[in-house]
């Protein structure tokens, strides 16, 4: 894939030379024994960034989400989320399969969340109906085109959660992008949620790693769940070092990825295929009115050396990240406009 312009996802990045150096020099120990100093340092650092007491290093964002959901939603009770949320779309039914959790969804609205709609869905504790125990939101919203939920909407949602006595989880795989796009301090987001999951391997450029963030007692229970799910890692400091490097060097630069996405959006917009306004590093394409469908566009782009994601028959996605240069973005824009024009 090295010679191709890969816009399928921000997960395709490879560690930079500096990141590899940080990994090679990492101090390590057995983290299941609680003896890896680099993992501990990463966990403390991320907890502090979000103003929470503790964090837990996990192998993937899916595992981090699912640990959080098991912490918040007891078996036989329910989670509310967007119908397009990653937790109910791409996590292979894990909430039901591992946590005995029922998921009920509101119609897909991406970042255009309406707290009143969610308020109307919360079911109280009782013996006659499945009680709601948690609400999950996604910041930024992946299938929602990288949209950013405004801080005021999240504050309103917190009031809804408090009124219904339910917990609030944030799938913050790309919360860094929201922080950069809206200038909201990470701690302001952290203050609104009982648990967050955050990813080091989407956009930040680490090869592996996500964390669950929350209160110390919760995270201790999360440690047990992680071990049960096979996520206890041994000399994981090698990976945590990559994550620490990413946090130190790759957050502010996300603004450059957002600018690249805006350039791609500007190039394809005249063809009427832009699904939403682009706020971060994701460019969602709606090809319903285009003369070609998503697989045809992707195949034609691939033949010209540009990889894009097909999300449905008429939906596609371009994602910018630290492994695509400005020149490659310009080249991809030229390729895509050429295909759309013919
Ligand atoms: C919003 C969101 N949450 C969670 C995940 C899961 O991360 P992982 O692939 O590490 O399990 C992803 C992956 O792309 C994502 O986009």
Instruction: Estimate the crossing angle of helix 254-268 against helix 175-182, to 10 degrees.
Output: 80
Pocket-testing residue among 57, 63, 90, ligand 1, by greatest number of atoms within 8 A of Cβ: 90
User: Token digits for 279?
Assistant: 């706020």
**Non-local CB neighbours of 181 within 8 Å, separated by 6+ positions:** 140, 148, 258, 279, 280
Task: Tell me the pLDDT of the chain (342 aa) as tens digits.
Answer: 658 999 999 999 999 999 999 999 999 999 999 999 999 999 999 999 999 999 999 999 999 999 999 999 999 999 999 999 999 999 999 999 999 999 999 999 999 999 999 999 999 998 899 999 999 999 999 999 999 999 999 999 999 999 999 999 999 999 999 999 999 999 999 999 999 999 999 999 999 999 999 999 999 999 999 999 999 999 999 999 999 999 999 999 999 999 999 999 999 999 999 999 999 999 999 999 999 999 999 999 999 999 999 999 999 999 999 999 999 999 999 999 999 998
- Rounded CA separation 267/257 (Å): 16
Rounded distance from Cα 285 to ligand 1 centre (Å) = 20
Q: Closest ligand 1 atom to the C-alpha of 85?
A: 1
**Non-local CB neighbours of 20 within 8 Å, separated by 6+ positions:** none
User: Token digits for 278?
Assistant: 């682009």
Rounded distance from Cα 204 to ligand 1 centre (Å) = 13
Q: Determine the pLDDT at residue 127.
A: 87
Q: Closest ligand 1 atom to the C-alpha of 174?
A: 1
Rounded distance from Cα 62 to ligand 1 centre (Å) = 6
Query: Cα separations (Å) of 162 from 119, 166, 192, 313?
Result: 10, 6, 11, 40
Rounded distance from Cα 173 to ligand 1 centre (Å) = 6
Q: Decide if 72 contacts 133 (C-beta within 8 A).
A: yes
Q: Determine the pLDDT at residue 342.
A: 83
Closest CA to 172 of 215, 142, 217, 135: 142
Q: Quote the Cα angle for 311-315-317, to 5°.
A: 70
Q: Closest ligand 1 atom to the C-alpha of 11?
A: 14
> Does ligand 1 come within 6 angstroms of the Cβ of 142?
yes
Which residue's C-alpha comes closest to atom 5 of ligand 1?
61
> Does ligand 1 come within 6 angstroms of the Cβ of 143?
no
User: Token digits for 125?
Assistant: 């504790």
Rounded distance from Cα 231 to ligand 1 centre (Å) = 16
Rounded distance from Cα 198 to ligand 1 centre (Å) = 9
Pocket-testing residue among 12, 84, 89, 142, ligand 1, by greatest number of atoms within 8 A of Cβ: 142
Query: Cα separations (Å) of 85 from 79, 145, 171, 334?
Result: 12, 12, 9, 32
Pocket-testing residue among 199, 200, 205, 210, ligand 1, by greatest number of atoms within 8 A of Cβ: 199
Q: Determine the pLDDT at residue 1.
A: 60
> Does ligand 1 come within 6 angstroms of the Cβ of 137?
no
- Rounded CA separation 104/83 (Å): 8
> Does ligand 1 come within 6 angstroms of the Cβ of 62?
yes
Q: Closest ligand 1 atom to the C-alpha of 138?
A: 1
- Rounded CA separation 207/246 (Å): 10
Q: Determine the pLDDT at residue 175.
A: 98
- Rounded CA separation 65/86 (Å): 9
Which residue's C-alpha comes closest to atom 6 of ligand 1?
61
> Does ligand 1 come within 6 angstroms of the Cβ of 209?
no
- Rounded CA separation 281/214 (Å): 27
Q: Determine the pLDDT at residue 248.
A: 98
Q: Determine the pLDDT at residue 2.
A: 58
What is the SS3 assignment for the chain? CCCCEECCCCCCCCCCHHHHHHHHCCCCCCHHHCCCHHHHHHHHHHHHHCCCCEEEEECCHHHHHHHHHHHHCCCCCEEEEECCCHHHHCCCCHHHHHHCCEEEEECCCCCCCCHHHHHHHCCCCCCCCCCEEEEEEECCECCCCCECCCHHHHHHHHHHHHHHCCEEEEEECCHHHHHHHHCCCHHHHHCCCCEEEEECCCCCCCCCCEEEEECHHHHHHHHHHHHHCCCCCCCCHHHHHHHHHHHHHCCCCHHHHHHHHHHHHHHHHHHCCECCCCCCCEEEEECCCCCCCHHHHHHHHHHCCEECEEEECCEEEEECCCCCCHHHHHHHHHHHHHHHHC
> Does ligand 1 come within 6 angstroms of the Cβ of 254?
no
Rounded distance from Cα 126 to ligand 1 centre (Å) = 33
């Amino acid at each position: 894939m090295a010679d191709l312009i890969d816009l399928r996802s921000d997960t395709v990045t490879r560690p930079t030379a500096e990141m590899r150096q940080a990994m090679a020099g990492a101090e390590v120990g057995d983290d299941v024994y609680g003896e890896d100093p680099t993992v501990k340092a990463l966990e403390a650092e991320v907890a502090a960034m979000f103003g929470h007491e503790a964090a837990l290093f996990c192998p993937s964002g899916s595992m981090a989400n699912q640990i959080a959901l098991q912490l918040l939603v007891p078996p036989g009770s329910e989670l509310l989320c967007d119908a397009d949320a990653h937790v109910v779309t791409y996590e292979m039914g894990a909430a039901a399969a591992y946590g005995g959790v029922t998921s009920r969804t509101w119609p897909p609205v991406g970042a255009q969340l309406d707290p009143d709609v969610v308020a109307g869905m919360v079911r109280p504790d009782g013996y006659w109906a499945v009680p709601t125990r948690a609400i999950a939101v996604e910041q930024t919203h992946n299938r929602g085109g990288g949209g950013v939920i405004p801080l005021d909407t999240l504050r309103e949602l917190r009031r809804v959660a408090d009124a219904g006595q339910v917990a609030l989880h944030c799938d913050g795989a790309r919360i860094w992008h929201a922080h950069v796009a809206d200038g909201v301090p990470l701690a302001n987001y952290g203050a609104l949620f009982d648990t967050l999951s955050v990813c080091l391997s989407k956009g930040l450029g680490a090869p592996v790693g996500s964390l669950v963030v929350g209160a110390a007692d919760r995270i201790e229970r999360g440690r047990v769940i992680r071990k049960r799910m096979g996520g206890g890692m041994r000399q994981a400091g090698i990976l945590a070092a990559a994550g620490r490097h990413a946090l130190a060097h790759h957050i502010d630069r996300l603004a450059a990825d957002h600018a690249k996405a805006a350039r791609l959006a500007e190039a394809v917009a005249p063809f009427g295929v832009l699904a939403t306004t682009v706020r971060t590093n994701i460019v969602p394409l709606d090809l319903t009115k285009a003369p070609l469908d998503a697989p045809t566009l992707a195949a034609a782009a691939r033949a010209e050396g540009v990889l894009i994601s097909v999300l449905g028959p008429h939906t596609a996605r371009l994602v910018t990240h630290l492994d695509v240069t400005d020149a490659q973005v310009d080249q991809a824009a030229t390729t895509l406009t050429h295909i759309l024009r013919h």
